[in-house]
Structure 1
């Protein structure tokens, strides 16, 4: 990846709806060149897809949660199959350490929180929830490290 690819990733993460023409102007490259770079970044798996960021609060899910799951009652494969179907869950990560999984979820108030915890307790002996008060870094574009390689 060169600096143009990195700039392309930065721009797309700020506004994935930008047109190829606008990308072409901003990066001073031809439209075919931009299109080729986009395809290459997708083929390499660097760009996984394009999506919209939706505000959970704006659609009635005003309570954002971080949930720690430990001591599963079922095999991990069964848990992971179930959690992919849980619509309140935004993210689920299997992690190292004494906690097995960390979940990010969005629910509608305390009733939604209680319902989600009740469902999760069917699969785990320990469900620890934290309500997110603020998110100083709610989203940040991710770019490769820009350390220069002295070999070229």
Structure 2
């Protein structure tokens, strides 16, 4: 990857709908040249896809919660797969440190949060501890960041 590839990734992260022609004008290249570069980035797996960003609050999701979930090793995969299937779950990671799973979920309200915790977390076999953290204010949120 060269500097132009990095610039294109930055531009596409900011606006995934930007046209090849617009990018070509910005970098003094043809639309075809830009398309070929972006196609190569997709073929190499650097760009995995294009998506939209939804404003959770405008979509009725007023509670954004992070969960630290400790799981007994034997149950890790079954718990992770069960949680990953829930539509409320935005992200789910196996982490190092004091917690096994780190999860982000978007919920309608506090009652929805309570229902989710009781029915979809506490009900799973193998969970030994759950800590819930609510977002009070979002200073930065970047979709399309690096996937490690």
Regarding TM over 0.5, the answer is yes
Are residues 31 and 22 of structure 1, via their aligned partners in 2, closer, same or farther at CA, if it must alter by over 3 Å? same
RMSD between aligned residues: 1.7
- How far apart are 1:140 and its partner, in Å? 6.4
Structure 1 runs, 4 residues or longer, greater than 6 Å off? none
Query: Does the 8 Å contact 1:89/1:103 carry over to 2?
Result: yes
Report the counterpart of residue 141 of structure 2 in structure 1.
138
Matches within 5 A, 1:1-152: 1-72=1-72, 75-118=75-118, 119-123=120-124, 124-139=127-142, 142=145
Deviations 1:107-147 (A, max 9, x none): 0111111011111012223111011001212116648xxxx
Structure 1 unaligned segments of length 5 or more: list them. 144-152
Query: Does the 8 Å contact 1:63/1:108 carry over to 2?
Result: yes
Q: Describe the SS at the equivalent of 2:58.
A: helix
Structure 2 unaligned segments of length 5 or more: list them. none
Q: Describe the SS at the equivalent of 1:60.
A: coil
Aligned length: 143
Deviations 1:63-93 (A, max 9, x none): 1001110134862121122122111110001
* Alpha-carbon distance between aligned partners in 1 of 2:74 and 2:88, rounded to the nearest angstrom: 20
